[in-house]
Amino acid sequence: MTQTVQTLVSISNVDKIFKRGSEEIHVLGGLDLEIPQAEFLALMGPSGSGKSTLLNLIGGLDRPSQGSVAVGGERIDELSDRRLAAWRARHVGLVFQFYNLMPMLSAQKNVELPLLLTHLSRSERKKRAAIALEIVGLSHRTDHFPRTLSGGEQQRVGIARAIVTDPTLLLCDEPTGDLDRKSGDEILSLLQALNQEQGKTIVMVTHDIHAAARASRTLYLNKGQLSTEAEE
Amino acid sequence: MAGAFNWFSQIASITAVNLRSLPQRKGSSVTAVFGIAGVVAVMVSVLSIAQGILQTMDNSASADNVVVLRSGANTEMMSGLVGDDTRIIAEGPGLARNAAGAIASAELFVIINLLKKATGTDANVPLRGVESAAFEVRDKFNIIEGRMFEWGLNEVIVGVGAKMEFEGLELGSTIPVAQEEWPVVGIFEAGGGLSETEIWVDAAVLQPAYRRGNSYQSVIAKLESPESFEQFKDALTSDPRLNVKAMRESEYYESQSAMLYNTITGIGTFIAVIMGFGAIFGALNTMYTAVSSRAREIATLRALGFHSGPVIISIMAESLLLALAGGVLGAVAAWWVFDGFRAATLNMTSFSQVAFAFDVSLSLLTRGILFAMVIGFIGGLFPAVRAARQPVASALREL
Ligand SMILES: Nc1ncnc2c1ncn2[C@@H]1O[C@H](COP(=O)(O)OP(=O)(O)OP(=O)(O)O)[C@@H](O)[C@H]1O
Ligand SMILES: [Mg+2]
């Protein structure tokens, strides 16, 4: 049996224009992108080139000014705000540069948060959160609060929170940007494992060429367009 | 799809997350709570004054009592009746009777000057001349200290309210009446009614002291039953010998207190509304601070897929909770300090002092707390809507 590689994310002819007062900022122009299922894609490019903007469009956190964004065959740019929020909860795991954990919740409770949007029972939520924390290697830190964890550990909690709902798509915006080399490497290994062993499709924005090397493909964003080569 | 349960659990969990972070926002939260408490305390206390006056008037009135004044007079002060009038009035139909005849007391009313204890300033105190039927008309009358005055002697008895309010009304002291000193021989209560603010003496003694001849100002009488009022009134008004009007005692007191009640309620509401605006800005400020200090958390929750509805509701819940705390605190403070607190104010129609107790009633407390909730609602609404309306992507950028 031959396995056909399916396209998970399909972006075509997307423009993104921000308005700041009377000024218009053209960030993305006529951008096309296909991301196959189970790919680990790294996005690079200069600061302000629109990497986060593109990631937000893929994750349904923002809408294109023009063009279409389809994920798993669904036109997410056409969903209402409410349905888009529900769609995000079901299909996307987000990992942030500064972790964005709830400071007053324990690691366990932070990881359980996205499960509050499901119909799972309290005990089932606990169980799944525990599994997610085990996957990221933090079983021994479940009752710790974010401020008592190191940056690397906090980011692991962030990843556990992103995978706890078992989403198809993991979107990471500079996940190692705030970490030292060693912790960053551990996080990258974790993402790699999630990609290779569990088949998660990952899009990772990074400024770090070493980090990008862990991905299966790297694209560069410049002047609103994607290319396979970094521009000089 | 997510159902109602889901919504509810979202609200509950976001609210719990918000409330858990309350200790980090202690300062501004405490300020808001106390601001609202102050507003509610002032509002409840001021309105309880009006309530207390109403209560005093209510205690004064008896359903089967009738007050007769000269027609055209709105108060006893303005009224005048000659001795013949009072006899004809007492013969009217529908009055309760006993061995001595109709239970009707012809009374007159002068104002004397005494020092007010609280301020040490001059105040007008009513001195009322009564007939023996007076004690049957006011069935809650009761001597609690000393004795009743002797008919025909220059002796007075003093209401408990007046004794508490003014200097020199203790048992055994004397009061200045028309260049003489009259001894206080007894202290009485009258069911919390207006009479407790007065000094009483034999009408026949008071008339010559003030050169009133055989004239009175009012007749207060007891009816056979509340229903016989119309009959009595019709007989009096159609009698060509008389030029008088008859009112139920409750009506009379209502007309006496309406202006005072309305003025105080008006002032109270005005103060509460002005202070309320201040408290709304305090609450708004607190909630804006609360929202901006949690901007990262709120944006993250929304990015994770939480709806903006629960976000709004949870911010509102926090604001309402703070307001509720403030409202209860203010109401309890007002109740604790002022309920039953005795005070006197000028009755604007008779220009004499009315002593009354602040009446912090349950309905007033409820109104105060509701007012606090309105403040909390407005204070939470704008920050909540703003937080929920901001696009998720730009909310995340602003962190
Ligand atoms: N919500 C917004 N409103 C206005 N301008 C925006 C908004 N979001 C992004 N921009 C602008 O769009 C451009 C691209 O921003 P973006 O955050 O996508 O860049 P980036 O490649 O992620 O940069 P960095 O590497 O610094 O994170 C910037 O000029 C930014 O100021
Ligand atoms: Mg960025």
User: Is 50 exceeded by the pLDDT of residue A98?
Assistant: yes
Q: Rounded to an integer, what distance in angstroms lies between the CA atom of residue B222 and that of residue B138?
A: 9
Provide the CATH number for the domain around residue A142.
Answer: 3.40.50.300
Q: Residue A94: inside a domain, yes or no?
A: yes
For the CA of B394, the nearest atom of ligand 1: 1
Report the alpha-carbon distance of residue B373 to residue B353 in Å, rounded. Answer: 37
Residue among B159, B166, B125 at smallest CA distance from B142:
B159
Count CB-CB contacts under 10 A for residue A193.
Answer: 13
pLDDT reported for residue B348:
44
Within a domain: residue A110? yes
Q: Give the separation between CA A156 and CA A134, rounded to whole angstroms.
A: 10
| The pLDDT value given to residue B123 | 83
Smallest-distance ligand from the CA of A49: 1
> Residue A104 domain-assigned?
yes
Q: What is the pLDDT of residue B328?
A: 94
Cα–Cα dist A57/B277, whole Å: 43
CA distance to A47, A58, A198, A202, per residue, from A190 (Å): 26, 22, 11, 12
Is there a domain that residue A3 lies in? no
pLDDT at A55 over 80: yes
Report the alpha-carbon distance of residue B69 to residue B256 in Å, rounded: 13
Q: How would residue A1 be classed by pLDDT, with cut points 50, 70 and 90?
A: very low
pLDDT at A25: 93
Looking only at the bridges linking them, the beta strands covering B218-222 and B65-70 are antiparallel
Within-domain flag for A5? no
Domain of residue A215: give its range. 37-61+87-227
Give the side-chain half-sphere CA count within 13 A for B227.
0
Mean pLDDT confidence for A90-96: 95
Residue A158: per-residue pLDDT:
97
User: d(Cα B72, Cα A84) in Å, to the nearest integer?
Assistant: 77
pLDDT value of residue B61 = 76
CB A181 within 8 A of CB A208: no
pLDDT at B106: 94
CB neighbour burial string for B143-175, b if at least 16 within 10 angstroms, e if fewer = eebbeebeeeebbbbbbbbbbbbbeebeeeeeb
Determine the pLDDT at residue A203.
98
Q: Is A116 on the interface with B (CB under 8 A)?
A: yes
CA A161 to chain centre: 11
Distance CA A207, CA B37 (A): 53
How many distinct structural domains can be found in chain A? 1
Q: Is A100 on the interface with B (CB under 8 A)?
A: yes
Q: Enter the ipTM.
A: 0.92
What is the model's pLDDT at position A188? 96
Give pLDDT < 70 ranges for chain B.
Answer: 1-6, 259, 340-358, 399
Identify the residues whose C-beta falls under 6 Å from ligand 1: A 18, 20, 25, 27, 45, 47-53; B 393-394, 397
Q: Are B159 and B199 spatial neighbours (Cβ–Cβ below 8 Å)?
A: yes
Domain for residue A93, yes or no? yes
Q: Which of A20, A27, A219 to mutate to test the pocket of ligand 1 (most atoms within 8 A of CB)?
A: A27
Q: How far apart are CA B262 and CA B162, in angstroms?
A: 24
Task: Tell which atom from ligand 1 comes closest to the C-alpha of B393.
Answer: 1
Task: Determine, yes or no, domain membership for A163.
Answer: yes
Q: What is the pLDDT of residue B343?
A: 59
pLDDT computed for residue B336 by the predictor: 83
In a domain, A32, yes or no: no
Question: Which amino acid type is present at position A5?
Answer: V
Give alpha helix (H) positions in chain B: 4-20, 26-60, 83-90, 134-137, 160-165, 203-209, 229-238, 249-293, 295-304, 308-338, 362-389, 392-397
A120–B contact, CB cutoff 8 A: no
Determine whether A147 is exposed, middle or buried from the number of CB atoms within 10 Å of its CB (0-12, 13-18, 19+).
exposed
Residue A52 is predicted with a pLDDT of 95
Q: Which of B6, B300, B311 to mutate to test the interface with A (most CBs of A within 10 A)?
A: B300
The ligand 1 atom nearest the CA atom of B391:
1
Phi-psi group of A89: left, alpha or beta (phi > 0 → left; psi -120 to 50 → alpha; rest → beta) = alpha
Residue B317: left (phi > 0), alpha (psi -120 to 50), or beta?
Answer: alpha
